[in-house]
Structure 1
Amino acid sequence: MTTRGWLVAAPRSGGGKTTVTLALVAALRRRGVRVRTAKSGPDYIDPAFHAAASGAPGVNLDSWAMPPPLLDRLFTQAAEGAELLVVESAMGLFDGVAGPTGRTGNAADLAARYGLPVLLVLDVTGQAQTAAAVAQGIARFDPAVRVGGVILNRVGSDKHRRSVEAAMRLPVLGVVPRDAGLALPERHLGLVQAAEHPALAAQLERLADMAERCLDLDALLDVSPFPAMPGQPGNTNLLSPPGQRIAIASDAAFSFTYPHLLRAWREAGAELLRFSPLANEPPPDSADICWLPGGYPELHAPALAVADRFHAELRRFAETRPVHGECGGHMVLGAALTAADGSTHPMTGLLGHITSFAQRGLHLGYRRATLPDGTVLRGHEFHYATVTQPGDDAPYATVEDAAGASLGPTGGRRGYVTGSFFHAIARETA
């Protein structure tokens, strides 16, 4: 099958990439096009919206955290059976970290590696001809990256459109007016999760209607196919399943799991057993490991505090089997969690730290984590919670940032229990 694709990008965050991506995907799906999606960089929230719009699970593609063989494998899987693959950039097109060519974590790495043309979304609020200069600068910045077209977003009037479009030296494939009704609700880590959106199906229909009116869908479909699809490599440095039967907390408080990891665990023969701490459910006793993903426990601290069955059964589980918490899961493994209003709520106490969402600080960036056995993982950290009391547990790992600067020990270990704010993506290439 001939697969075509676009990388939807912008000069910065907040420019409308997700709105345009969802509108394009929803409109093409309504036309019967087999459209699939991917998200550049570490992001748990946008892929869930992509999946709702396309009707198929998406994937994350991260050129810093994922070694090239894993990146190629996931790109190939994302394009399987697709007539069009739509990849949404994180932040600005060229925003990443210092690193070897193709390993910076920016979306431009993907455009260059896979021959993906860039669909540049320009928020032209407060601009006219200058928007064309911005587009030209982006188009000329890296010869390996080709800008195939531009979407003018948040256009104020026909006069505004004409002044911008007349100066543009790239194909204009859509003009989206200012419309607050197109926006998706947000909170501190990004968009409100897809599963919590009060009327997501209706919103996607509205976005599809907008795409039919405002985007040149025929031109967007008439894009050149990929010049070459990568093969299926051997060693991809995926994380092995942590157990044969994995109990995974899954609800509004625990929802940050990477699709590529869950798929890899299933393909390796592991069974995933989902349960809801918010519903006071314990990990299934048949599991041989319990995994508490990240999410929004800070928004559900009172409910988690009184989930007595979950607390008691998790403690019993941890007496004989591993329990691991990532980010939000790590917060719940601690002794207590202070919510935004300053109220403090007891957590499971399997580790000794206390975290606070009332005392906030942004922790954001790629991380390289070295475990006590020498295993090196690549991943990231993104949270506003702070550790107000560290406890006295042994550290889970030592971490560095993307530049190699030491950030010291992180997280905790006690018996079978481990946790930290680090989100794992892949093993580092040897």
Structure 2
Amino acid sequence: MAAGLVISAPASGVGKTTLTLALARAWRNRGLNVQCFKSGPDYIDPAFHAAATGRASVNVDSWAMDRGTIAHLVSRGVDADIVLAEGSMGLFDGVAARGVSGTGATADIAEMLGWPVVLVIDPSGQAQTAAAIAAGLRDYRKGVRLAGVVLNRVASPRHEDLVRRALNDSGIAVFGALPRHAEISLPKRHLGLVQAEEQAEIGKLIDEAARFVAEHVDLDAVLRAAAGWSPQPAANGLNVTPPGQRIALARDAAFSFVYPHMLEAWRAAGAEIVPFSPLADEAPDADADVCWLPGGYPELHACRIAANARFRTSLRSFAETRPVHGECGGYMVLGAALTDADGVRHEMAGLLGLETSFAKRRMHLGYRLAELAAPMPGHQIGARLRGHEFHYSTILAQPDTPLAVVHDATGAVIAETGSRRGHATGTFFHLIAEDR
């Protein structure tokens, strides 16, 4: 029987990912099978989980997914010794309006699966107040159980002692305390962590994190705190229709934001995925019946994309007879032009009239519910698609036929409708699931 834990915190940037990776690798080094998941719509962390455990990680999301889908996804942990679900933001942070099975909060997953929570707390600039925060989180919602805490970035032994005493007085277990340690800091950029596949030394960094955490955290006590868990049979699997039978998938440093569960669902439904690299000036597979451009960092590679004539010409040729779809960064590349952070305008594929700019950045972030006004690969008119949008680009022009009526999580209509022209479609949101 597997045992499950949720790794969460009072806020973002406290060290959840580092602790998750360190625990996963430390237990793997002991010979345990470790399975990770990511609660919420972050599409970067699962690749780090896979690097730490050697097992594919997927997202589970209470706003976008029903309980059957979540049960289906987590059932991959049935053969693991320990299952870790890494949270997003703070433990109870979600949207104001409930989605399919919750608000997207990590607490939803903890309660749904019955897994206790290990809190990562950064007591910088405080001492006993850290215990008040932990106690408040422990008591905030019935059904969410707190296993204990790991302190991160403690300033000194005296500081640690003050915080530990207060937590002990509150009846909260302290599994360990981590001094500041720059060597295990994960590099970041504007959309989150620099991706695992871009870091040649990621294995060494995770090994160092595992060594450091094993030195300062009682791994056996954390393991004992996990709840025994047997996956319940899912009534249904993923409600995902592949966009085609043979899918040409853009895949490189500029096109990498795609949810692992989506690719798995496509393959499970019998689709074949053929990757190609626009940055290497490659063309989509000539025998594919659909081309899909995920999001990523085209703004960091706009000059190179604009110069890669073979990629752009072949994409235009492909779109003359077959569907091409882009998500977020992929959508921008399907457009007419992209202006980079320095104000330089770069010509893109021109399959859509969309023009975007990073010269004046503004964050667009949140869940999206789209009702299709036109078909897109894998989905018909009227389909209700749930996804997540996160980018800093500004729309300069979006002249084509709107693809969908798009709402945010509060129900407000937003301007990022997506576009359709001929066989080309695009959205700013990353697809997570379709409403059943």
Measured against the shorter chain, the TM-score band is over 0.9
| Match of residue 4 from structure 1 | 3
Report if aligned partners of 1:139, 1:145 keep a CA contact under 8 Å in 2.
yes
* Structure 1 vs Structure 2 CA RMSD: 1.2
After superposition, where does 1:155-174 map in structure 2 within 5 Å?
155-168=154-167, 169-174=171-176
Report if aligned partners of 1:239, 1:261 keep a CA contact under 8 Å in 2.
yes
Task: Supply the distance in 1 between the matched residues of 2:197 and 2:261 (Cα, whole angstroms).
Answer: 19
Shift of residue 280 of structure 1? Answer: 0.2
| Match of residue 197 from structure 1 | 199
| Match of residue 73 from structure 1 | 72
TM-score (norm 1): 0.97
CA deviations on 1:297-332 (whole Å, 9 max, x unpaired) are: 000001100111001111000000000000000000
Q: Which runs of 4+ in 1 moved over 6 A?
A: none
| Match of residue 146 from structure 1 | 145
Which residue identity does 2:420 align to in structure 1? R
| Match of residue 18 from structure 1 | 17
Pairing partner for 1:407 from 372, 390, 414: 414
| Match of residue 377 from structure 2 | none
Task: Supply the distance in 1 between the matched residues of 2:145 and 2:336 (Cα, whole angstroms).
Answer: 51
1:290 matched to 2:291: yes
CA deviations on 1:98-137 (whole Å, 9 max, x unpaired) are: 2449511000001101111000000011111110110000
Task: Supply the distance in 2 between the matched residues of 1:316 and 1:91 (Cα, whole angstroms).
Answer: 43
Report if aligned partners of 2:5, 2:227 keep a CA contact under 8 Å in 1.
no
CA deviations on 1:173-201 (whole Å, 9 max, x unpaired) are: 11110122221000000001111124111
User: Measured at CA, do residues 228 and 291 of structure 1 come closer, stay the same or move farther in structure 2, by a change above 3 Å?
Assistant: same
After superposition, where does 1:145-294 map in structure 2 within 5 Å?
145-168=144-167, 169-234=171-236, 236=237, 238-294=239-295
1:358 matched to 2:359: yes
Task: Supply the distance in 2 between the matched residues of 1:22 and 1:90 (Cα, whole angstroms).
Answer: 15
1:374 matched to 2:382: yes
1:420 matched to 2:427: yes
Q: Secondary structure at the match of 1:277?
A: coil
Report if aligned partners of 1:175, 1:214 keep a CA contact under 8 Å in 2.
yes
Q: Secondary structure at the match of 1:278?
A: coil
Shift of residue 233 of structure 1? Answer: 1.4
Report if aligned partners of 1:355, 1:385 keep a CA contact under 8 Å in 2.
yes
Report if aligned partners of 1:337, 1:344 keep a CA contact under 8 Å in 2.
yes
Task: Supply the distance in 1 between the matched residues of 2:231 and 2:180 (Cα, whole angstroms).
Answer: 38
CA deviations on 1:372-397 (whole Å, 9 max, x unpaired) are: 2110001111000111122x210111
| Match of residue 332 from structure 1 | 333
User: Measured at CA, do residues 363 and 316 of structure 1 come closer, stay the same or move farther in structure 2, by a change above 3 Å?
Assistant: same
Q: Secondary structure at the match of 2:426?
A: strand
After superposition, where does 1:51-66 map in structure 2 within 5 Å?
51-66=50-65
Shift of residue 229 of structure 1? Answer: 2.4
Which residue identity does 1:175 align to in structure 2? A
Task: Supply the distance in 2 between the matched residues of 1:174 and 1:20 (Cα, whole angstroms).
Answer: 11
| Match of residue 38 from structure 1 | 37
Q: Secondary structure at the match of 1:290?
A: strand
Q: Secondary structure at the match of 2:148?
A: strand
Report if aligned partners of 2:238, 2:265 keep a CA contact under 8 Å in 1.
no
Shift of residue 228 of structure 1? Answer: 4.9
Q: Secondary structure at the match of 1:7?
A: strand
User: Measured at CA, do residues 356 and 178 of structure 1 come closer, stay the same or move farther in structure 2, by a change above 3 Å?
Assistant: same
Shift of residue 226 of structure 1? Answer: 3.5
Task: Supply the distance in 2 between the matched residues of 1:133 and 1:10 (Cα, whole angstroms).
Answer: 14
Shift of residue 409 of structure 1? Answer: 5.9
| Match of residue 316 from structure 1 | 317
Pairing partner for 1:385 from 390, 393, 404: 393
Report if aligned partners of 2:116, 2:227 keep a CA contact under 8 Å in 1.
no
Task: Supply the distance in 1 between the matched residues of 2:40 and 2:239 (Cα, whole angstroms).
Answer: 16
Gaps of 5+ in 2: 374-380
| Match of residue 84 from structure 2 | 86
Report if aligned partners of 1:257, 1:293 keep a CA contact under 8 Å in 2.
yes
Shift of residue 212 of structure 1? Answer: 1.4
Which residue identity does 2:274 align to in structure 1? L
Worse-superposed segment, 263-272 or 405-414: 405-414
Q: What is the aligned residue count?
A: 425
Shift of residue 45 of structure 1? Answer: 0.8
Task: Supply the distance in 2 between the matched residues of 1:199 and 1:268 (Cα, whole angstroms).
Answer: 35
Shift of residue 353 of structure 1? Answer: 1.3
Task: Supply the distance in 1 between the matched residues of 2:413 and 2:335 (Cα, whole angstroms).
Answer: 24
| Match of residue 95 from structure 2 | 97
Report if aligned partners of 1:327, 1:421 keep a CA contact under 8 Å in 2.
yes
Report if aligned partners of 1:67, 1:237 keep a CA contact under 8 Å in 2.
no
